A and B are shown apart, each in its own frame.
Chain A
Amino acid sequence: MKKLFLVFMLLVVTALVGCNKSENTSSSGSEKDKGNHVVNIGYSGPLSGAAALYGKRTLNGVEMAINEINDGGGFEVNGKKYTLNLVALDDKYLPNETGANAKRLIQEHKTPIIFSPHSGGIMALQVFNEQDNFIIGAYTSEPAVTDSGNALTVRFPPNYEGYIEPFITYEMERFGKKIAALPTASQYGKDWTEALLPAWEKKGGEVVYNSSIDFAKETDFFTIVTNALKEKPDVLFIGGASEPTAKVAKQARELGFKGGFIIMDQAKLDQMMPITGSYEALEGSIGVLPLIDSDQEAIPAFAEKYKKLYKEDASSEVGLNYLGMYAFVESMKAAKSVDDVKAIREHMEDGVKNLGNEQKIYAINSIDEDGGFDITIVTGAVEDGKVVPIH
């Protein structure tokens, strides 16, 4: 009797699950919600683990844009009102998880756009995004992401190759020709190093030390920094997540290093400063211009809004993803569709052009053929304890 009951229950449960499934699949790309149409926007990035903070910041940018758009009553495409719904999944910085998340996002939520903030994950998505019809909102400065010719990838940050020339020129003139490289041990760190060092040598410089630091494994950086400084470099090339990178800079100063730092674009001067205590320790550093120090007109209002909502200073992770989300919405309007991803991608150019003035927190000119935003690169250097834009 008991067994029979169990079997019966099992049948009921299966039936229920089945119903649920068929209900889900009946909804189309844009779900109807109280007379309003909803477009789901996907996100897959690190929300736990060592890179969680970075992931959270990129997500904040997308979320802030979506909330603003929804609070303004949504947007109109082809005479229909749409609002946005953000579906964020954690991929722990692992490309395979990004892939699995994306499959889930498109199957369960039919997201036309998926944001991802790391090159490994983005490359995993590029394997199937053209077949599965979704656009990747790529937050990475890795040039390989757009060089691969993927037709449905939009890259927000400027390609890091643009930084190399101004960084080298500045540091060589100010400090000298000997460089020691201590980049982060990620693929991105390796690619950056491979782009920077040959360019440094080409300009008549000398590479005296080159070894990477694994921030997920090292408790103390004194050993490696001691070894790098033994070669008496004028400039140190460092990078990775802002906070550990700042620790490397600080320990280099403790060990008596007087030269300058070239800081990979992943680390941000404004996030490094709280760790070193002041900009004094970072004197002579060149890196990405902190968003809040930018002289773009829309910045003060944006920075204030963000600080009020998230209780921290806005950074480029936030800014570019925010801008990206708005650009996508404008492209949907221009494409007159919320789910025809090819049309949306084709109208990206209009999307970028139609951005409102208060969204233009970066000087964005257009979108390149390969899907990268064409943003004028402005770097920032620390001079006399202050960050100054270097145009």
Chain B
Amino acid sequence: MEILLQQLFNSLTIGSVYSLVALGLTLVYGILHIPNFAHGALYMMGGYITLTMMTAFGFNYWVAMFVSILVVGLIGVLLERFVFRLLREAPPLHDKIAAIGILLFLEAFAQFVWGADFQTMTSPYGQVVTIMGLTFTMQRLLIIVSAIVVMILLYLFLKKTFTGASIIAMSQSREGASLVGININKVAMLTFMISGGLAAIAASLASPINLVFPGMGHLVILKAFVIIILGGMGSIPGAIVGGYILGFSESLGATYISNDYKDIIAFVLLVIILTVKPTGLFAKGER
């Protein structure tokens, strides 16, 4: 029983990180209509910027994370303005090539600036809390709580504000949104900004339990792809639910079936869900 509870807690931690990354990916999918391969690199940049703010400028963890959200958000905006907007009329393949190019560029850039070594982000929340035989660390509780807060805020923003509604409108139909007077350039940039910000939050939260290094984006990006396919491309609840499903299937699969097969379990789940619902759990009708 203890093991089950411990593993449920572990899967919540990892699921939260997955969900945050997948959310950013799914939002941009609404604009680009291709998965943004560079999203993992934005995640990595987020980790490095938070770390640099903490070590080089001595910022508090939260301040550093805030700066990181702004910087990575800005990188997102620049990518939209100077890469993807120019490719708007081009065939979708060009977007994909550009995204891969950005991924390679950012990784090489990080290695050039920060070096190839593994770096540690020391969060002020390293304490270990043991309650009834279960081990929590403050950082892990923080990941879970922050992820939920961010998700609620994002939901309120998208559903209750006019700007949020215009993002949804645009992901449903770019022409339609444009016809009703939405400035699609502005919305596209805003979406990239939010997506980058989410990546920065996820990286800043997850880095203290792992390491910061140029290849860290690969740890999450493949899983984020699986999640958005599973949840339905472009769907926000899909990304959230998908993230937790993957987190749970990995942890519980590793515990009760086999650690060596836990990735297979996740993919079998994907196959089953897609067989029953080929568009993913929460896909919108038209796509």
Contact = CB atoms under 8 A, between A and B. Distances in A.
A326 B206 CA distance: 44
Nearest to A253: B128
A241 B118 CA distance: 10
Contacts of A243: 117-118, 120, 211, 213
A218 B7 contact: no
Given A219-B220, A226-B10, A243-B211, A53 B117 contact: yes
Contacts of B11: 223
Contacts of A217: 218-219, 222, 263
B14 A254 contact: no
A80 interface: no
Interface string B105-138: 0011001000111101000000010100001010
B17 interface: yes
Nearest to A209: B259
Interface stretch (B68-76, B92-100, B230-238, B247-255): B247-255
A243 B219 CA distance: 15
Contacts of A48: 107-108, 111, 116, 214
A385 interface: no
A366 B214 CA distance: 40
B210 A220 contact: yes
Contact of A222 (B10, B117, B222, B258): B10
Most chain B CB neighbours (cut-off 10 Å) among A220, A227, A254, A255: A220
A207 B222 CA distance: 33
A372 to B, nearest CB: 29
A223 B7 contact: yes
Interface string A212-245: 1000111110111011001000000000011110
B174 to A, nearest CB: 34
A263 B244 CA distance: 33
B143 to A, nearest CB: 9
A9 interface: no
Most chain A CB neighbours (cut-off 10 Å) among B3, B206, B211, B263: B211
A219 B210 contact: yes
A222 B218 contact: no
A254 B260 contact: no
Contacts, number: 95
Given A219-B206, A220-B10, A244-B118, A254 B255 contact: no
B116 A56 contact: yes
Say which size band chain A's interface belongs to. Answer: 20 to 34
A220 B7 CA distance: 12
Given A48-B108, A254-B137, A275-B120, A219 B14 contact: yes
Contacts of A47: 116
B113 to A, nearest CB: 14
Contact of A226 (B3, B17, B218, B263): B3
B52 interface: no
A50 interface: yes
Nearest to B3: A230
A164 interface: no
B104 to A, nearest CB: 10
Contact of B254 (A49, A227, A255): A227
A229 B83 CA distance: 49
B254 A223 contact: yes
A226 B215 CA distance: 25
B8 to A, nearest CB: 11
Contacts of B50: none
B199 to A, nearest CB: 14
B116 A52 contact: yes
B6 interface: yes
A74 to B, nearest CB: 31
29 contacts: A47-B116, A49-B215, A50-B215, A50-B218, A56-B116, A211-B259, A212-B260, A216-B218, A217-B219, A219-B17, A219-B206, A219-B219, A220-B10, A220-B13, A220-B206, A220-B209, A222-B13, A223-B11, A223-B14, A223-B254, A226-B10, A227-B3, A241-B118, A243-B120, A243-B211, A244-B118, A256-B135, A274-B120, A275-B120
Closest 4 CB pairs of A and B: A52-B116, A243-B118, A211-B259, A50-B215
Interface of A: 47-50, 52-53, 56, 211-212, 216-220, 222-224, 226-227, 230, 241-244, 247, 251, 254-256, 274-275
Interface of B: 3, 6-7, 10-11, 13-14, 17, 107-108, 111, 115-118, 120, 128, 130, 135, 137, 140, 206, 209-211, 213-215, 218-220, 222, 250-251, 254-255, 258-260, 263
